[in-house]
Structure 1
Amino acid sequence: MIRGIEPNWQVSAKVRGITTFRSGGVSSAPYESLNLALHVGDEPTAVLSNRQLVNQQLNLPSAPRWLHQTHGADIVTVTGQEFSCPPEADASYTQTAGQVLAIMTADCLPLFLANSTGTEIALLHCGWRSVANGIIERAVENFDSPLHTLHAWLGPAIGPNNFVVGEDVKLAMTQLSPSYANHFKVSNDRWLLDLFGLVTSELNRVGINHVGISGLCTVEHASRFFSYRRDGQTGRMVSLLWLEA
């Protein structure tokens, strides 16, 4: 059975979301077992079977709108019109009920956004490059609702004790705000980055103060989550977000 973690936030019950665990699928090691990514070396037939299991067992209103994620800051608006192929983007936004937004991760942070009344949503793939390139601010600009009505939830991602980065990452983040240096701790000749804390600060900076955090580290919970940093060759979870009619 497919299971996962759902956002814990104060928004309309019409807003539905989940980040899947790695179990419940048909892929073999090292992609065991619910790998949803076609680009990591897994057998395509297994991935497509896993995607079908997700559609069926989660009773999705439509097939997920998969993206070709590039660690950039592009955002696609999803309507009822089908994609001819997955667009190159790292976030999607919609006001259309029944359209299932999708982001794949295996350490990067899935960021869920919604207004309180459940009429518009966005889902972001927050690796450090996307955050540094302003993807959060760009996504928020898509919303018609006042900022004080927007809520965020930070799904499972690499935690502050495991995200070792170089000086380039610190420089990129502090260009967003010098205060973001507070989210880095010295680790030998490198840095440990608290991505949960930094993304929360970036949300606050752009005007979103209702922020929930899963706090779950993908590296530390090997039975639940894929982790690229931990395993190298591995699968991807999916985060899904949609509006019920």
Structure 2
Amino acid sequence: MTTLQQQWLVPHWPGLPDGVGALSTTRRGGVSPAPYDDGMGQGGLNLGTHVGDQPHNVARNREILRSMLPGDPGWLTQVHGTAVANLSRLGPQEVPEADASLTTTPGKVCVIMTADCLPVLFCDVEGKTVAAAHAGWRGLAAGVLENTVESMRAAGAGELMAWMGPAIGAYQFEVGPEVREAFLSGAVDASGVRHVEAAFLPIEGKPGKHLADIYGLARYLLHRAGVQQVHGGEFCTVSNSGRFYSYRRDGVTGRQAALIWIK
């Protein structure tokens, strides 16, 4: 294992086929200065071109990441929506407006960037189709995970599994009533309502405010979509400033990435 792989995350993902690679970067291992640094005074691996970092820093950081991959990442213009891009049908320079991507082509790399939103990586059990989805609360409530699952199945995927990467933790994600209502309105039965309500903890002294468990919400939605093997969900971007970028914590900050590919 290289030094960079030790600084980043190789998902603990039981059952991931040998022919599939997955990786989640952290803020470590790059060249960007504060506020995009590694949290310890060294260069940070900011991968976002839209956050105020100097373009040459981002380009160098992307080169560092590219050196660890079998091909160029399929970057997206993420808009907190539900569109899913099929990288197998795109040219190498195309950057579609989408919040998820999939591929059935070896060497194509699905990638999404986050700084508190939930990254979800997908793979079918045979290792023939992979995908990555960006799930902030808006996209999560609107169906980005379900759309990704449906798109993978339309591309020929069989039984699916998923890994949830670093995101804002359940004790850090304070939300207003509109967030809870967005998920409750999508609950299709009493069981769904129960699962949604369990993911929101009322905050004492703050009427209408809740702490939201984005991992719990995603797990419920994935199970409802037929994805029973769901792993990950143990990190908090906000509370670990030495490892992850967090927009909620810092405001001006970088972006880390979650990636998956067929070898």
**TM-score normalised by L of structure 2:** 0.88
Q: 1:73 aligns with which of 72, 75, 82?
A: 82
Q: Alpha carbons of 1:166 and 1:83: their partners in 2 closer, same or farther (altered >3 Å)?
A: farther
Contact 2:8 2:28 (C-alpha < 8 Å) held by counterparts? no
- What's the counterpart of residue 200 of structure 1? 219
- What's the counterpart of residue 231 of structure 1? 250
Contact 1:104 1:236 (C-alpha < 8 Å) held by counterparts? yes
- What's the counterpart of residue 109 of structure 2? 100
- Alpha-carbon distance between aligned partners in 1 of 2:225 and 2:214, rounded to the nearest angstrom: 17
Gaps of 5+ in 2: 38-43, 188-192
Contact 2:32 2:45 (C-alpha < 8 Å) held by counterparts? yes
4+ residue runs over 6 A deviation? none
Q: Which amino acid aligns with 1:145?
A: A
- What's the counterpart of residue 41 of structure 2? none
- Alpha-carbon distance between aligned partners in 1 of 2:104 and 2:70, rounded to the nearest angstrom: 15
Q: Percent identity?
A: 41
Q: Deviations over 1:180-222 (max 9, x none)?
A: 1210001123110000111000001111110102410001111
Gaps of 5+ in 1: none
Q: 2:64 aligns with which of 53, 78, 101?
A: 53
- Alpha-carbon distance between aligned partners in 2 of 1:83 and 1:24, rounded to the nearest angstrom: 25
- What's the counterpart of residue 12 of structure 1? 17
Q: 2:178 aligns with which of 165, 168, 181?
A: 168
- Alpha-carbon distance between aligned partners in 1 of 2:117 and 2:81, rounded to the nearest angstrom: 13
- What's the counterpart of residue 46 of structure 2? 35
**TM-score normalised by L of structure 1:** 0.95
- What's the counterpart of residue 190 of structure 2? none
**Greater mean alpha carbon deviation, residues 6-15 or residues 131-140:** 6-15
SS in 1 for 2:201: strand
Q: Which amino acid aligns with 1:204?
A: H
Q: Deviations over 1:77-127 (max 9, x none)?
A: 011642544111000011111001110000001001101110001100010
Q: Which amino acid aligns with 2:213?
A: D
Contact 2:28 2:243 (C-alpha < 8 Å) held by counterparts? yes
